């Protein structure tokens, strides 16, 4: 479960002054559901997700992840979160196994428990064939699977995906989309950001439209359709943004 | 602080470093090869260029030669000096490195010197230019020898020996074995080299640890990693331990590099 309350992040820029990248955002994501954060480039999607993953600290407002406050208990929050984006790269000189084991150990997994978990994930994600190959020698699709194993090693109840299919080819993107669906079927809370309408339409149970740091509209696809009178998500998005501008 | 977590990060950094060719090169290979190559190489090049200068000799111009016939003759007879005819453009030729130095005798030089009147001989040269400075030191040696001859002659005229001016001489004599002399010279340099090597060897791992994480995009991975009980401070501790290890290896490798070309046991 994720609950964001008036979540705000202001960046100070010498030339541009204060920039409100995330401006008083409120939303809830339920376990077993996928919440899609839809917005154009620079809308505030990545900043929102980084706040939830405790990579950034909010300027004001807060969020609770599995009941833990991102301001007060960031370490416990991180232990409950798996964060995946195209920016979360792997250590190229480590093998797939070493990478996953490293993040497992950082989570407190050791010995047989760690080995069992790694084997389980490698079997699930079909990593076995290249488990002992260095990450910089893997294809993009293989790297994505290792990244997924890395995010899942501690079996987090909350998954955060920041434009996870950006720049990937069709096959690699399908692996990710399939994985996001699996997370939902396993009862995890999933939040996902994208500017690709079709992806959001396919995957998400709830959609939030973010523009210039503000959450302009949110609800199920059916609710958004009803509210705007538009059937297509792209039209819903454009209309919502235009009304706000 | 959790030592186990620091250990996890340290072991990962160790594996990562040992697979990085750039780090291996800068912490182990370069210091071992660099010192012998640099010291022997530079010494060789310097000796070669000095030999070349000596072999080719110095080109000198004598200005007002008739004012000092005796001294001019001494200069002419000196080995390694080639005299070219006097001309007005000596300064330009020195600037163009076609002439290494010009020696100017003032009018009535020899007559004034013989009459105990002090005169000034000028050596025109190119300051900082090696071959010009070699010529200057050669001319200074000739002038110094001529001055000594004059002083000795004057003393004799007055019934005095040259020992009047130098009542005693001093002489230094080394009693230490040659290997100890060499060891001492290197030993003096050693602490400075170690400091230099520490920084040099750890530079590549330090860059890799900080900018490298950001460049490769792994910084977000580690910051977002579910650090169950692991404070980010541990990442710094693990990283610093990795740098200390790089310092150590660079220092040891550098020491071995120095010892390879030492003259004797230290």
pLDDT of residue A53: 92
**How far is B259 from B266, CA to CA, in rounded Å?**
9
Question: What SS3 class is residue B198?
Answer: helix
Average pLDDT of the segment spanning B227-253: 56
- Res. B237: pLDDT tops 70: no
- Domains within chain A, CATH numbers bracketed: 1-80+159-245 (3.40.50.300), 81-155 (no CATH)
pLDDT at A92 over 80: yes
pLDDT bucket at B262, cuts 50 / 70 / 90: very low
Contact residues, chain B, for A98 at CB < 8 Å: 12, 15
pLDDT for position B246:
61
CB contact under 8 A, B8 and A105: yes
Substitution target in A105, A110, A137, A156 with the highest count of B β-carbons within 10 Å is A105
> Which of B216, B229, B231 is opposite residue A108, by nearest beta carbon?
B229
Q: What is the pLDDT of residue B82?
A: 92
Considering the segment(s) B56-164 as one domain, its CATH architecture is 3-Layer(aba) Sandwich (3.40)
The answer to whether the CB of A64 falls within 8 A of the CB of A70 is yes
- The partner residue sitting opposite B221, judged by closest CB among A81, A88, A105, is A88
The mean per-residue pLDDT over the stretch B40-53 comes to 86
E strands, chain B, where?
Answer: 58-63, 81-84, 101-104, 122-124
Q: What is the distance of C-alpha A203 from the center of its chain?
A: 13
> Across the interface, do B227 and A79 touch by the CB < 8 Å criterion?
yes
Q: How confident is the model at residue B37 (pLDDT cuts 50, 70, 90)?
A: confident
Measured in angstroms, the CA of A240 and the nearest CA of chain B are apart by 32
State whether residue A36 is helix, strand or coil.
strand
More confident position, B249 or A108: A108
Q: Cα distance from A226 to chain B (closest Cα, Å)?
A: 37
Distance between CA A49 and CA A191 in Å, rounded? 8
User: pLDDT value at position B250?
Assistant: 60
What pLDDT does A232 receive? 87
Q: How far is B27 from chain A (nearest CA, A)?
A: 18
Give mean pLDDT, residues B183-203. 77
The residue among B2 and B53 whose pLDDT is bigger is B53
Residues B153-170 have a mean pLDDT of 88
Residues on chain A bordering chain B, Cβ-to-Cβ distance under 8 angstroms? 53-55, 75, 78-83, 85, 87-94, 98, 102-103, 105-108, 134, 150, 154, 156
**β-strands A34-38, A189-194 pairing:** parallel
Residue ranges of the domains in chain B?
Answer: 3-37+178-260, 56-164
Q: With an 8 Å Cβ cutoff, are A90 and B224 in contact?
A: no
Contact A88 B230 (CB under 8 A): no
| pLDDT for residue A213 | 92
What is the per-residue pLDDT for B231?
44
Convert the pLDDT of each residue in A148-182 to its tens digit.
899 989 999 999 999 888 877 888 788 888 888 98
Give backbone dihedrals phi and psi of B84, rounded to 5 degrees, phi first: -115, 155
Please, which pLDDT band fits residue B202 given cuts at 50, 70 and 90? Answer: confident
Mean per-residue pLDDT of chain B: 81
Q: Do residue A75 and residue B231 have CB atoms under 8 angstroms apart?
A: yes
Nearest CA in chain A to B18: A93
* Residue B210: both structure tokens together: 């900080």
Average pLDDT over residues B225-243: 54
CA gap B60, B143 in Å, rounded: 14
Q: Band of the pLDDT at B230, cuts 50, 70, 90?
A: very low
For residue A85, the surrounding DSSP H or E stretch is strand A81-85
CB < 8 Å to B223, chain A: 55
- pLDDT of residue B229 exceeding 50, the answer is no
Size of interface A-B (CB pairs under 8 A): 79
Which of B16-25, B88-97, B100-109, B133-142 is least confident?
Answer: B16-25
Interface probe, candidates B11, B19, B225, chain A, greatest A C-beta count within 10 A: B225
Cβ contact A94–B12 (<8 Å): yes
Residue among B5, B216, B224 minimizing CB distance to A55 = B224
SS3 track for B212-227 = HHHHHCHHHHHHHCCC
- Partners of residue A94 in chain B, C-beta under 8 Å: 12, 15-16
Res. A88 pLDDT band, cuts 50 70 90? confident
B221 min Cα distance to partner chain A (Å): 5
Whether A94 and B15 lie within 8 Å, measured CB to CB: yes
Strand partners, A9: A22
A44 burial via Cβ count (<10 Å: 0-12, 13-18, 19+): buried
CB contacts of B9 in chain A (<8 Å) are 106
Q: What residues in B contact A96, CB-CB < 8 Å?
A: none
Q: How confident is the model at residue B256 (pLDDT cuts 50, 70, 90)?
A: low
B→A interface, C-beta within 8 Å: 5, 8-9, 12, 15-16, 19-20, 216-218, 220-221, 223-231
């Amino acid at each position: 479960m994720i609950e964001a309350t008036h979540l705000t992040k202001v960046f100070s820029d010498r030339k541009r002054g204060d920039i409100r990248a995330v401006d008083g955002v409120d939303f809830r994501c339920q376990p077993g559901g996928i919440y899609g954060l839809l917005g154009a480039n620079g809308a505030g999607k990545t900043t929102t997700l980084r706040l939830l993953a405790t990579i950034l600290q909010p300027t004001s407002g807060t969020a609770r992840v599995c009941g833990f406050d991102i301001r007060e208990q960031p370490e416990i929050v991180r232990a409950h979160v798996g964060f995946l984006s195209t920016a979360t790269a792997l250590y190229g000189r480590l093998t797939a196994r070493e990478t996953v084991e490293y993040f497992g150990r950082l989570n407190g997994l050791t010995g047989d428990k760690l080995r069992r978990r790694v084997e389980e994930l490698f079997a699930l994600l079909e990593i076995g064939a290249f488990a002992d190959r260095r990450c910089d020698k893997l294809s993009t699709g293989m790297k994505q699977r290792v990244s997924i194993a890395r995010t899942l090693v501690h079996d987090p109840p909350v998954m955060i995906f920041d434009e996870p299919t950006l720049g990937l080819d069709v096959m690699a993107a399908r692996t990710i989309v399939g994985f996001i669906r699996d997370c939902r079927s396993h009862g995890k809370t999933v939040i996902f950001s994208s500017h690709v309408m079709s992806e959001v339409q396919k995957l998400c149970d709830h959609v939030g439209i973010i523009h210039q740091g503000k959450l302009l509209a949110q609800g199920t696809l059916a609710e958004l359709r009803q509210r705007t009178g538009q059937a297509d998500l792209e039209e819903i998005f454009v209309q919502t943004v235009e009304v706000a501008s | 602080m959790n030592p186990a977590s620091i250990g996890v990060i340290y072991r990962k950094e160790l594996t990562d470093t040992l697979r990085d060719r750039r780090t291996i090169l800068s912490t182990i290979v370069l210091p071992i090869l660099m010192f012998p190559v640099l010291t022997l190489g530079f010494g060789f090049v310097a000796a070669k260029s000095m030999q070349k200068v000596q072999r080719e000799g110095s080109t000198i111009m004598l200005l007002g030669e008739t004012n000092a016939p005796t001294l001019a003759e001494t200069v002419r007879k000196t080995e390694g000096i080639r005299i070219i005819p006097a001309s007005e453009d000596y300064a330009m030729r020195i600037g163009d490195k076609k002439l290494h130095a010009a020696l100017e005798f003032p009018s009535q030089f020899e007559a004034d010197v013989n009459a105990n009147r002090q005169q000034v001989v000028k050596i025109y040269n190119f300051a900082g230019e090696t071959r010009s400075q070699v010529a200057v030191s050669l001319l200074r040696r000739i002038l110094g020898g001529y001055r000594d001859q004059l002083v000795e002659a004057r003393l004799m005229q007055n019934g005095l020996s040259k020992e009047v001016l130098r009542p005693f001489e001093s002489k230094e004599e080394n009693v230490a074995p040659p290997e100890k002399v060499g060891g001492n010279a290197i030993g003096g340099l050693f602490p400075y080299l170690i400091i230099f090597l520490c920084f040099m060897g750890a530079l590549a791992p330090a860059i890799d640890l900080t900018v490298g994480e950001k460049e490769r995009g792994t910084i977000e991975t580690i910051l977002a990693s579910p650090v169950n009980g692991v404070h980010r401070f541990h990442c710094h501790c693990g990283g610093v331990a990795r740098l200390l290890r790089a310092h150590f290896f660079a220092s040891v490798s550098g020491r071995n590099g120095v010892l390879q070309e030492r003259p004797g046991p230290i």
